[in-house]
Chain A
């Protein structure tokens, strides 16, 4: 079993060389956040992750969360790590300084954020959800509730949850049954059952702040009738400290495929006291503000698990000796060559690396757009960023989590039969990765969101904004002239094709609305490969722009990067053509077969 090492060099390369983090932050008026500070934040986050979190990743999986008569015990070490994390101030990374946070844009801290997830994803969800809940309260809660809850959550004294799902209500929130009845004193009484609630109950803190979606008695039907409430596990005493139980109980926790350390709770609310967040029937509006952040957070989980998988595979392919190179022995003094001499193993290693490192550029870029949307002083720039974020969020969420399944699966494959055995640790990565394709909106729903709401819904405006940004960056990148012409042409060709596919689907939708759903998955993937090609193009341009001192060390590193770029353009990018063909095939082949015949 190996431990996680933060890929500092690649993270810094992506932040500074590819994405020019300093300039991006300066454009937000944060020229105080210079490279030294960004690297300092990464370094301290990485240290914490490597020494405190990484061991919890395995231990938490072995031990799992336990339920006993309503109480939930997290795995050994979870609480100590949580307290240390909170004491170090990480819970308040993004929150406003007025509430005790640091108010940092993502670009200043996203690399540290990646190391926390990679360190121990199941553990990290408690603090990650708390950050999300804080953001929701900041957007929609009344001042009194903000002062009651937010500082405690930022300090790590209390955690937060998101309670949407019910047994009959998963993707379709219109089916929600949990009720909220107004009291004379302005509070509400909530009753109903929520399932699958991550960290709904635990022993990390003495209170838990639930953000609960429910229906008011006069609610209109469907998703338009949903309101958001803040409901603490224990009621607050006059001095703000936790008092009596509030009618919020954990009935059991689920036994599941992965993230064993994270308790997934069935929560029963019985006349629990809560306060409205946002407007009556306006719960989803607040949730939508949170949605981008939460979905990028899940994309980050995909990336982080894939990085861990790639590290494990790279080490194993170096240490494990089997067979001889087809070109003759390489490790002559050894009984056999290391695995990485074999073309098929190289195919897997390069696939993993191309997805992980290209995915990192894509995701950090998405976070940078999110920063612009959240914080840029000019409305016109924010508006453009809104289009870019709207497009890239479902792409990043779905693609990077599907990618995580492929990459963690490959890590098992590189380990051979040993990968199937628990001791090597890679099968856990595969089990943990699957949930990222499911929650925070399944990947199918992400594709629908992209194709329907974002692309067709905007009359194609979002994709045009995106493609213009793709072209703009390529026209102005300093190293552009030195990128192989074939790769530049490939990106342009794909960008053009994405525009064409948009027109094709838009044309068909006027005849058959099912065309949106039929095209969605493949359209999203085509867009993802186009964006990934752009990211690899930018990577190569950045390498060309600053050759640095041509020392052995840096030559080896850049040679690896270039080889990975080449592999991507030659062997992974052709997958885009298959997705384009599938989009063009249209809905008929999916929809014409009657259900009886389909399921016969």
Chain B
């Protein structure tokens, strides 16, 4: 069975203007629209396309999060994933914990490929995929903008600072995806109905032998300073002058 696992994280929707709680303990989440992390949606889309091309047999969506993350997994099932696994966690999950859980699932499920977003738009950590590859002991390709299956090898085009880089890695492997990889499909109404009947297993950390530990402590959340009003300069000379005075040039 050629199985692809896709990480699906429940995050605040990209369109929400997030607000920091007045006491600085976090971001206000009540009544806020939650969605699949956009990068993860792209990862899922890529997995589904591979399956549709006959390059995979099964796509499994996996998430670590609260009970409500079932909503995002149902959306993943409606998009086309065959089944889903929710590992329940009532607190925020650090990248290392997520990587440990995903590694355990990858082993238990005998995964051929694990696709995850390059980062989640809530914490922007950009670590889970890399840690997963290390713990699993398999090759990785990050920031993918193109993925081709060549038998037992994956050819991955990566977006790097200098431009595009192409790698070939052996399967099983981990790929983290970037925004330009594809454009996720619209969910079809009949598939929303079908998704209700697809299996969604709710598991615990213990089921995968992981004990989540808190390694990071966040002491304070503050909103970024609002941009102050700019000034219009008349010439380049004046601009350079202003910048010098501000110590910027």
Contacts and interface: CB of A to CB of B under 8 A. Distances in A.
Interface in A77-103: 84, 87-90, 92-93, 102
Interface stretch (A294-302, A451-459, A551-559): A551-559
Given A88-B188, A92-B189, A93-B189, A40 B78 contact: yes
A92 B188 CA distance: 11
A307 interface: no
Interface residues of B, number: 24
Q: Which of A37, A39, A84 gathers most chain B CB within 10 Å?
A: A37
A551 B28 contact: yes
A39 B71 contact: yes
A44 B30 contact: no
A36 B33 CA distance: 14
B196 interface: yes
Nearest to B193: A102
A88 B195 CA distance: 14
Nearest to A40: B192
A39 B78 CA distance: 13
Specify the main secondary structure of chain B where it touches its partner.
loop
B79 to A, nearest CB: 10
Contacts of B192: 37, 40-41, 44
B158 interface: no
Contacts of A102: 189-190, 193
Dominant secondary structure of chain A at its interface with chain B: helix
B233 interface: no
B21 to A, nearest CB: 8
A87 B188 contact: yes
Nearest to A91: B189
- How many interface residues does chain A have, given as a range? 20 to 34
A9 interface: yes
A84 B186 contact: yes
Contacts of A93: 189
A68 interface: no
A114 to B, nearest CB: 15
Given A553-B31, A557-B31, A48 B189 contact: no
A346 interface: no
A43 interface: yes
Contacts of B31: 9, 551, 553-554, 557
A379 interface: no
Nearest to A551: B30
A342 interface: no
Contact of A44 (B15, B21, B186): B186
B33 A8 contact: yes
A89 B189 CA distance: 5
B118 interface: no
B157 interface: no
Contacts of A87: 188
9 nearest CB pairs, A to B = A89-B189, A551-B30, A44-B187, A89-B190, A89-B188, A553-B31, A88-B188, A553-B30, A88-B186
25 contacts: A5-B15, A9-B31, A32-B196, A36-B71, A37-B192, A37-B196, A39-B71, A40-B71, A41-B192, A43-B75, A44-B78, A44-B187, A48-B186, A52-B186, A88-B189, A92-B190, A93-B189, A102-B190, A102-B193, A551-B28, A552-B22, A552-B28, A553-B19, A553-B30, A553-B32
